[in-house]
Chain A
């Protein structure tokens, strides 16, 4: 059954690669920056959750395959920084939490033809590396109590990607999502962590570097979606310059080592895209 399904998918991908609409550019680069809101909870450090403002910097570049013009290879690097704080609380213990994320991604996408003019659909697979860390300024040597611990994790994952493109004159509208199929890496254990750091730096580093987790989409579900509009600013024989406005949405719901982690992020980004013909 699985073999048949695999063969069917291969046949389908092969056939669409022959008939699919070809891309009208050979490579592109994109730089963007964004701002948005984030709600985040992590049972190991902030179980009641915190709201915050998140900032994003992103770089993407892509190249059309020379062998198959319907296939595109993409690289993306993204960094998010969030400042999380509950407003309006009376206690002086209410300190901000700083949260940072880095994501590096390599993606291979394929155009899937649809019988509608100006419409294309891309589907593909990616491989990403993700790092996340949270830190609270109370975590210093001056506070024995009320010292909220930092947290962090890193993992690699194969991701599925899906994208819809629609071109209308100078505008290109896109929508899509990606989600990791499984994750492998380091996630914080329930209540186990290195016990001391002095005289022990090597083994502490080793503990955080060594992977301790392999989880499927059922334990780590993340949905990373976007809607964007690109407008052609400049067109020449060799290249095109677009401005891009993106609304992105990210939702995470995971439970690994009995530590649940939930996140909801909504952002608006503005970027510039250069496409070479």
Chain B
């Protein structure tokens, strides 16, 4: 009886400790299955990207199982990733090597002489790598280039710069080269251009592993700081490299009555990224939520500007026809005002 009583907890320990499935072993098969299952349960854009995920399994699973080493496995999985044409889907093998889709958009580059050519002077009060400002020499126009949201943003620095610029008759906001970054940064920057609480987007999180089980749209609200008043005409320059948080920023700005978007369709990227470890230490980055604009447009498909102007790169020249168009729109708005 004594032995029997003491045997009870030992028996319970034994029964419940027979588990070795928590830490998945690092084999090519398990790496592929972890990748496939995570995507299957959590990726949100199968429909938009027109990918048949089940057929991917049928085609690539046997190849992955037969992979001789990590390099071969990586090239098999890279083949899958690029088919999505989704820059938020990124399989990282190391901190310097990974597989993902790079858009073949126009390669915009920024040249100081362009600004001089169009009558802008550098506004040197503040300087930041991603935040460049110019003041029009003869008119009350200012130019602000915001080329990334992927850094720790000091919004007070942006506010004091905008306060000191002379932008009474117009502001050209250039996010053509803005490939995105942190959502917080985009929301903070956009809040400088409107007053009061504003529904900036609707989010529809995935509610279960089922492919199309999304929640009803949930409004995401943000309170504006109204640093640039609604009386100032704003021209927002966009192009295909305007992506992710840059794309979200463009959608918020387009809703403002005093903003006109000029340039090319943005690259899309309507979701923040989630990252997960695979059994071999690689990291799978994927979009995990669908965002819709305040008008209900799926942000993944990019934003078509109000005035479409293709970016044409004239080599070794100082012609920027999108900037030129922005200035001419501001001129016409101001001539009508007078």
Contacts and interface: CB of A to CB of B under 8 A. Distances in A.
Interface of A: 39-41, 43, 45-51, 86, 89-94, 114, 116, 119, 121, 138, 141, 144-149, 164, 166, 173, 175-177, 189-193, 195-200, 223, 225-227, 249, 251, 258, 262-264, 266
Contacts of A49: 22-24
Nearest to B280: A89
A15 B103 CA distance: 78
B12 A41 contact: no
Given A40-B22, A177-B12, A199-B223, A190 B283 contact: no
B188 interface: yes
A91 B280 CA distance: 8
B293 to A, nearest CB: 15
A258 B276 contact: no
B12 A225 contact: yes
Given A144-B181, A145-B285, A251 B188 contact: no
Given A195-B203, A196-B222, 19 more contacts: A41-B24, A48-B277, A48-B278, A86-B26, A93-B94, A93-B281, A93-B282, A93-B283, A116-B1, A121-B5, A144-B150, A146-B92, A166-B5, A189-B205, A191-B205, A195-B272, A198-B187, A249-B16, A258-B208
A39 B22 contact: yes
Contacts of B180: 144
Contacts, number: 172
Classify chain B: how many residues form its interface, as a range: 35 or more
A249 B222 contact: no
A224 B203 CA distance: 39
Contact of B22 (A175, A177, A189, A263): A263
A199 B281 contact: no
12 contacts: A47-B38, A49-B24, A50-B277, A93-B94, A116-B5, A138-B275, A144-B181, A199-B188, A225-B16, A227-B10, A262-B22, A264-B19
B274 A191 contact: yes
Contacts of B12: 177, 223, 225
Nearest to B283: A146
A75 B281 CA distance: 41
Contact of B182 (A93, A144, A176): A144
A173 B8 CA distance: 14
B34 A48 contact: yes
A41 B22 contact: yes
Nearest to A88: B26
A176 B276 CA distance: 37
Contact of A191 (B1, B34, B206, B218): B206
